[in-house]
Amino acid sequence: MPLPPAAALLAWYDRHRRTLPFRRSDGGRPDPYRVWLSEVMLQQTTVAAVGPRFERFLARFPTIEALAAAPEAAVMEEWAGLGYYARARNLHACARAVAAMGSFPRTAEALRTLPGIGAYTAAAVAAIAFDEPVVPADGNVERVVARLLAEETPLPAAKPRLSAAVQGFMADDAARARPGDFAQALFDLGATICTPKTPACALCPWRGECLAQQRGIQADLPRKSPKRARPLRHGAHFLLTDTAGHLLLRRRPPRGLLGGMLELPGTPWRDAPWTEAEALPHAPIPGLAWRRLPGIARHGFTHFELEMQLYAATIPHLDPPEGTEARDRNDAVSALPTVMRRLLALAG
């Protein structure tokens, strides 16, 4: 199972590399803080979604020391809308660890021990920021290599084998001379040529050396294990507003789903819909004239789907009960995760 020459990919990359907000265009030494931040933001998140958020995050936390010094709640708020909020908690914890150490570890092995840095991110930061000869194996790289080798074993079972195989590129002098560029070349190849559905094999620098392409099965690889169906769950939430335009929010428990994020107070999420009589006891302030707003807010999570009802009430002055806080509506929207913004949209 020979690997194709790295030089062909690097030559393609030198002509076709994407210009991205988190990628230096002047060829200078990448800043480890920026590389790390971009890699964490890009975990399971599209380049298009990360672009504007990357610059905004850096404007608020320009250095890793600034990030380490910030309250966790400020980091969570800056992350609002990006999803996978454990990333923000781990990012903050990692910043504090690195600040305490004085600087980033320079090897993948050492980076791997930091919070929120797994095998992929450790290799990516080591290769891009520190020129360590390792190949980060993300979804792009797994797809490219699965096709090159015509690997028929479905993911995720094939992941260890693909990750091991791709390290073989570092026996190639051309790849070892430019580990960061080689990694990013694989990303760009996967994102623009060796795409999931209909790969543009005619434009591939490795066309003719790809076993899947030779066999005509490239669009069927990598194979994936079947996924389970997502159940439907139901919730009811409460929008309490005062005459000054403040609304009442509650912070969720520090770990788990939407951990550490703000939400509109509400019922737990369960399989059965909530009747009004069942929901009202969960109101943040009992006895108010709660009225159910028309419509249902829907939101899809990774492993379940959610339908939510919204009850609203207004009082003259909001005096937040223990465990809650009052916020101006605009501040609330920017601090809330998308699922809660969708709920708030029911109120116009």
Partner DNA sequence: CAGTCGTGGCG
Partner DNA sequence: TCGCCAAGACT
Asked if residue 25 binds DNA (CB under 7 A), the reply is: no
Answer for which of 3, 7, 11, 47 binds DNA (CB under 7 A) is: 47
CA–CA dist 266, 336 (Å, integer):
14
Length of the chain: 348
Asked if residue 197 binds DNA (CB under 7 A), the reply is: yes
Q: Catalytic site residue 39?
A: yes
Asked if residue 162 binds DNA (CB under 7 A), the reply is: no
Six-digit token string for 118: 């797994």
116, 39 Cβ separation under 8 angstroms: no
C-alpha dihedral sign at 312, 313, 318, 321 = negative
Residue 274 has phi, psi (to 5 degrees) of -100, 125
Asked if residue 37 binds DNA (CB under 7 A), the reply is: no
Asked if residue 346 binds DNA (CB under 7 A), the reply is: no
Answer for which of 196, 254, 268, 295 binds DNA (CB under 7 A) is: 196
Residue 59: closest CA among 84, 78, 32: 78
CA–CA dist 286, 241 (Å, integer):
14
Q: Which stretch binds DNA (CB under 7 A): 85-93, 208-216, 287-295, 325-333?
A: 85-93
Size of the residue set binding DNA (CB under 7 A): 60
Asked if residue 29 binds DNA (CB under 7 A), the reply is: no
String marking each residue 100-139 x if it binds DNA according to CB under 7 A: ---------------xxxxxxxx-x-------------xx
Asked if residue 85 binds DNA (CB under 7 A), the reply is: yes
Write down the catalytic residue from 39, 78, 132, 142.
Answer: 39
Asked if residue 227 binds DNA (CB under 7 A), the reply is: yes
String marking each residue 281-300 x if it binds DNA according to CB under 7 A: ------------------xx
Six-digit token string for 289: 């004239």
CA–CA dist 54, 245 (Å, integer):
31
Asked if residue 17 binds DNA (CB under 7 A), the reply is: no
> How many Å is the Cα radius of gyration of the chain?
24
60/159 with CB nearer DNA: 159
211: left (phi over 0), alpha (psi -120 to 50) or beta: alpha
Count, in order, helices (H) and strands (E) of the chain.
Answer: 16, 7
Neighbours of 342 (CB within 10 A): 15
Catalytic annotation, residues: 39
Q: Applying CB under 7 A, which residues contact DNA?
A: 20, 22-23, 38-39, 42-49, 81-86, 90, 115-122, 124, 138-140, 143, 156-157, 159-160, 184, 187-188, 190-191, 196-197, 224-225, 227-228, 256-259, 299-303, 337-339
